[in-house]
Amino acid sequence: MRLSLQTLDQVPAAVARPAYDVAALQCGIVHLGLGAFHRAHQAAYTDAAIAEAGGAWGIVGVSMRKADVAEALEPQDGLYTVETLDSAPSYRVVGAVRRALTLPLAPERVLAALAAPATRIVTLTVTEKGYCLDRDGVLDFAHPDIVHDLRTPDAPRSAVGVLAAGLARRVAAGAPPATVISCDNLADNGARLAAATFAFAARAHPTLAPQLGSAAAFPQTMVDSIVPAADAAHRARVEQALGMTDAGSVQREAFGQWVIEDRFAGPRPAWEQVGVEIVADVGPHRRLKLHVLNASHSALAYLGLLRGHALVRDAVADPQLAGFLDGLIAEEIAPALPDLAVRDYWAAVRRRFANPAVDHRLDQIAQDGAEKLAQRIFPLMVANQRAGHPVARMGRIVRAWLDWSARQGGPRELDDPAVFPTEIRKQPALRAAILEAVP
């Protein structure tokens, strides 16, 4: 037996179920990047908000490349289980995802969903890499996906191309403005996404581009929760808890945070009633998360893999790596963020990393290192060098990434302008900090 609307009433009472009529829920959100993080985080918050305050906030989820998520969710009527990993695991069936599309297979349906008047929120989790930005943080018009989308703007494959086409259709149809919410670890994520979308639209949709600024708001955001990739052990636990199969289940830690700038173009779910923070300034929250949690995650990934560790909790239990991280925070990151409570935040993060119930794989975190380090490490290296603060430990992280990347057939040289910003390549002190580091 498999989880679906038809079998939902047979889910055991110990498993939480949607507190609303899932079959009757209308869609008001389109999400780009229907991966595990969205299903465990934003969709779960939205599910809770619908249960708390109602509203037509069902989600049209879009996988940007592969059809595997849609193929898992379609037979289940969009239902899936979130397993929360704490001292004792808990389980909850989420019903907020009402449709699951795959962009390459249904570009017209995706664009129609974006243009629908009922769609008032668009969210994205496409990773840093998915924004097609260059080392300076602006749209890379030489990126293969952008080149493709400029040739075929009505069949885009990049998130920026999809957004530009969808907003252009909204303008042409006179649809009300939408709020576009980036949920990726990108500095100034809302502003950068807006700039990239408008830059693309100026070339691909020149007659409508001048009106896009009034067609959408792009608030800044920060998201946080550790979401390990689903594995066989997780699937088995979910099947035992449900008494049936769930091919779309996800697992996450108990901690979760979502901070959104209070700048919306129209209505939204009652997220603030279920723990989402709607604030005037996201910056302090995002800087802490990006430069403490994410930076230390990258450090554990590259240094931990080179020391033979597979999981975050094992790496942070390694006395040598734990000491390295404590020194990194105290001597290099805290001085670069003097206005933030870095040490208190790090103490909480360290406890989260050590959670024995969370099997968060280092090789999962290690992917797309060039894009991640450009956000997490390089800005602090440059800032510290200018202020006369140490950079040696951050240099060691970059060196460990270079060594790991070389083993995967990726970048290994500091002179690669596609990977390293000018400030790194042209500054002797920063180059030396990396080249002389010993992982």
Q: Is 241 helix (H, G, I), strand (E, B) or coil?
A: helix
123 sits in which H/E element: strand 121-124
Residues 198 and 294 occupy one common structural domain: no
Confidence at residue 257, expressed as pLDDT on a 0 to 100 scale: 97
Q: pLDDT confidence of 428, banded at 50, 70, 90?
A: confident
Residues 295 and 275 occupy one common structural domain: no
Confidence at residue 301, expressed as pLDDT on a 0 to 100 scale: 97
Residues 247 and 108 occupy one common structural domain: yes
Domain assignment present for 412? yes
pLDDT digit string, tens, across residues 163-180: 999 999 999 999 999 999
Q: pLDDT confidence of 54, banded at 50, 70, 90?
A: very high
Domain assignment present for 1? no
Residues 270 and 289 occupy one common structural domain: no
Mean pLDDT of 215-244: 97
Domain assignment present for 196? yes
Mean pLDDT of 209-233: 95
Tokens representing 329 are 């925070």
Domain assignment present for 377? yes
Q: What percentage of the chain reaches a pLDDT higher than 70?
A: 98
The answer to whether residues 90 and 82 touch, using CB atoms and an 8 Å cutoff, is no
Q: Is 188 helix (H, G, I), strand (E, B) or coil?
A: coil
Q: pLDDT confidence of 418, banded at 50, 70, 90?
A: low
Residues 100 and 228 occupy one common structural domain: yes
The DSSP output letter for 133 is B
Domain assignment present for 3? no
Domain assignment present for 2? no
Confidence at residue 412, expressed as pLDDT on a 0 to 100 scale: 65
Rounded distance between C-alpha atoms, residue 288 and residue 341, angstroms: 8
- Does the pLDDT value for residue 95 go beyond 80? yes
Residues 246 and 346 occupy one common structural domain: no
Confidence at residue 245, expressed as pLDDT on a 0 to 100 scale: 98
From 118, 123, 109, 219, select the one nearest 165 (Cα to Cα): 109
Residues 276 and 289 occupy one common structural domain: no
pLDDT digit string, tens, across residues 63-90: 999 999 999 999 999 999 999 999 899 9
- CATH code of the domain in which 311 resides: 1.10.1040.10
Domain boundary among 246, 262, 280: 280
How many structural domains comprise the chain?
A: 2
pLDDT digit string, tens, across residues 267-285: 999 999 999 999 999 999 9
- Does the pLDDT value for residue 187 go beyond 90? no
- CATH code of the domain in which 83 resides: 3.40.50.720
Q: What percentage of the chain reaches a pLDDT higher than 90?
A: 87
Residues 185 and 135 occupy one common structural domain: yes
- The pTM of the full predicted model, rounded to 2 decimals, is 0.91
Task: Name residue 361's beta-bridge partners.
Answer: 311
Domain boundary among 280, 314, 347: 280
Query: Which range marks the domain in which residue 131 is found?
Result: 8-280
Q: Which residues contact 316 (CB under 8 A, 6 or more apart)?
A: 300, 322, 325, 350, 353, 354
Rounded distance between C-alpha atoms, residue 190 and residue 261, angstroms: 9
Rounded to the nearest integer, the mean pLDDT of the chain is 95
Domain boundary among 249, 280, 311: 280
Residues 288 and 270 occupy one common structural domain: no
Residues 233 and 332 occupy one common structural domain: no
Q: pLDDT confidence of 130, banded at 50, 70, 90?
A: very high
Mean pLDDT of 17-34: 98
- Does the pLDDT value for residue 421 go beyond 80? no
Confidence at residue 46, expressed as pLDDT on a 0 to 100 scale: 98
Please report the DSSP string for 221-274 in residue order: EEEE---PPP-HHHHHHHHHHHTSB-TT-EEEES--EEEEES--SS----GGGG
Rounded distance between C-alpha atoms, residue 371 and residue 367, angstroms: 9
Confidence at residue 438, expressed as pLDDT on a 0 to 100 scale: 76
The answer to whether residues 88 and 356 touch, using CB atoms and an 8 Å cutoff, is no
- Does the pLDDT value for residue 411 go beyond 70? no
pLDDT digit string, tens, across residues 27-42: 999 999 999 999 999 9
**Looking at per-residue confidence, does 438 or 399 come out higher?**
399
Residues 163 and 252 occupy one common structural domain: yes
From 62, 164, 50, 57, select the one nearest 113 (Cα to Cα): 62
Q: pLDDT confidence of 357, banded at 50, 70, 90?
A: very high
Residues 258 and 310 occupy one common structural domain: no
Q: pLDDT confidence of 433, banded at 50, 70, 90?
A: confident
